[in-house]
Structures are given as structure tokens and as C-alpha cells.
């Protein structure tokens, strides 16, 4: 088993719960304020993690401006994506649509992997990209 596998399982569970909780919250809080609470709480959670690393003597956090800039762009994407999910749910979008939406994002990641990171394009990966994009378009109704 790959050494990263259990991290993938934990990330999948947490991101799945993230969408369930966003759906539950969307009827009781505005999209902007809800997004702010989500991202602010996320920032505090990461701050606790950083404090743990520092206090336990396991601080190995490198820093470059390139890393900082891409991290900031990631934050913009996550913040805007969170607001978009609040709006989706507030406008009656079903929670069951989220997997296809995330699969569309996975297709974008796979395409970027091939074109920007020289990852191989197998027939399985190609089929996955096509099915993910097809699933996203099937949500229109």
C-alpha cells in the first residue's frame, strides 16, 4: 500500500463531511458570512497544527515566495469555492450533486497533471476525465 493512502482516506472523509456541513449550514447563514466562518475556522485549525509542530520540536516548514504566492492563489480558490457551494445549496442545489462537481474538479486536476506536470495519460485516466466532465454536464437538469 502506498505511504500516502491513509492520508487520502482521511482527506476524503473530511472533505465529504465539509460538504455535508456546508449544506446543513447554508439555510442558516449567508453565503459570504458562512464562507468567512468556514475559512476562518480552517485558518485557526491550521494555526493549532502549526503550534503543535513548533511546541513538539517537529517544525520543518520551509518558505519561499513562489510557495507563498501559489498558496495564496489556493486560498482564493478555496474561499471562492466555499462561497459558490453556499450559493449552490441556498439556490436549491442538491448535496447529491457535489460528487459530480468534485469529479469535474478532479478532471481539471488530471488534465493539469498531464499538461503541466508531465504525468502519463493512460486510457483509464482519459476515461475518468471524460466520465467526470460528462457527469458534471448531466447535473444540468
Low-confidence residues of the chain: pLDDT under 50: none
Question: Do 41 and 89 lie in a common domain?
Answer: yes
Q: What is the pLDDT of residue 128?
A: 86
Q: What is the pLDDT of residue 71?
A: 97
Closest of 90, 102, 98, 95 to residue 33, by C-alpha: 90
DSSP string, 90-129: HTT--GGGHHHHHHHHHHHHHHHHHHHH-----HHHHHHH
Residue tagged 459530480 (cell numbers): 100
Query: Which of 77, 93, 109 is where one domain is finished?
Result: 93
Assigned C-alpha cell, 89: 445549496
Assigned C-alpha cell, 103: 469529479
Q: pTM higher than 0.75, yes or no?
A: yes
Query: Per residue in 10-23, pLDDT tens?
Result: 998 999 999 999 99
Q: Give the total number of structural domains in the chain.
A: 2
Question: Do 69 and 124 lie in a common domain?
Answer: no
Integer Cα distance of 111 and 125 in angstroms: 9
Q: CB of 89 within 8 A of CB of 104?
A: no
Q: Please check whether residue 42 lies inside any domain of the structure.
A: yes
Query: Per residue in 73-90, pLDDT tens?
Result: 999 999 999 999 999 999
Amino acid at each position: 500500500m502506498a505511504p500516502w493512502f491513509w492520508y487520502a482516506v482521511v482527506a476524503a472523509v473530511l472533505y465529504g463531511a465539509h460538504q455535508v456541513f456546508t449544506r446543513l449550514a447554508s439555510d442558516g447563514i449567508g453565503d459570504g458570512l458562512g464562507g468567512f466562518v468556514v475559512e476562518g475556522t480552517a485558518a485557526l485549525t491550521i494555526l493549532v497544527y502549526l503550534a503543535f509542530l513548533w511546541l513538539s520540536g517537529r517544525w520543518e516548514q520551509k518558505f519561499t515566495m513562489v510557495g507563498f504566492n501559489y498558496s495564496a492563489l489556493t486560498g482564493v480558490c478555496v474561499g471562492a469555492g466555499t462561497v459558490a457551494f453556499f450559493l449552490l445549496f441556498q439556490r436549491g442545489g442538491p448535496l447529491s450533486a457535489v460528487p459530480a462537481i468534485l469529479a469535474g474538479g478532479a478532471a481539471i486536476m488530471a488534465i493539469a497533471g498531464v499538461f503541466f506536470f508531465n504525468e502519463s495519460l493512460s486510457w483509464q485516466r482519459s476515461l475518468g476525465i471524460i466520465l467526470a466532465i460528462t457527469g458534471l454536464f448531466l447535473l444540468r437538469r
